[in-house]
């Protein structure tokens, strides 16, 4: 079943804010929260992630029905990619090397910002590329 396309974009906006705060403060705990949010989005789908639930409960009732839907698989894959970068960031902030935390967090922030500001989902594009390649290989 397709999902409201505005939900993942809202989640990306919240994620961008969280990751920006992590970069400014160096908060390992806040990055751990974001890593958990990515893990839940990858495992359960973006609609059941913390930001997806917030969107459904607090935002969607106020903005009306969606005009656009999308398949849930690409945003779910994007959550897994975000999880990988956030986990790398956690390792960097907690154990080093010193540059790894900010670099991995910054990469995740860049991807979240692109989705939030322009609707361009890098993880979704990666999913579609991998899918095209595997279909051709068959």
Kindly state the tokens that stand for 31: 């990055």
Taken in order 68, 37, 89, 31, the sign of the CA dihedral is positive
pLDDT tens-digit readout, 70-84: 999 999 999 999 999
Mean per-residue pLDDT, 19-40: 98
As for how many domains the chain has, the answer is: 1
pLDDT at residue number 49: 97
* Verdict on whether the full-model pTM lies above 0.85: yes
If we measure between CA atoms, which residue out of 85, 83, 70 comes closest to residue 120? 70
pLDDT tens-digit readout, 102-123: 999 999 999 999 999 999 999 9
pLDDT at residue number 88: 98
pLDDT at residue number 21: 98
Strand partners, 70: 3
- Distance in Å from the first CA to the final CA of the chain: 26
Domain that holds residue 49: 3-137
| Predicted confidence band of residue 50 (pLDDT cuts 50, 70, 90) | very high
**For the chain, what is the mean pLDDT?**
96
Q: What are phi and psi of 19, to 5 degrees?
A: -70, -35
């Amino acid at each position: 079943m397709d999902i409201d396309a505005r939900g993942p974009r809202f989640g990306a906006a919240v994620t961008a804010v969280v990751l920006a705060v992590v970069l400014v403060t160096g908060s390992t705990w806040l990055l751990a929260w974001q890593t958990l949010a990515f893990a839940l989005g990858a495992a359960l789908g973006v609609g059941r992630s913390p930001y997806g639930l917030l969107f459904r409960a607090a935002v969607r009732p106020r903005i009306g029905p969606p005009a656009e839907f999308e398949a849930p698989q690409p945003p779910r894959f994007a959550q897994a990619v975000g999880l990988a970068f956030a986990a790398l960031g956690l390792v960097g902030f907690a154990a080093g090397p010193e540059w790894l935390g900010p670099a991995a967090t910054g990469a995740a922030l860049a991807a979240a910002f692109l989705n939030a500001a322009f609707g361009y989902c890098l993880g979704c594009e990666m999913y579609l590329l991998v899918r095209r390649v595997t279909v051709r290989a068959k």
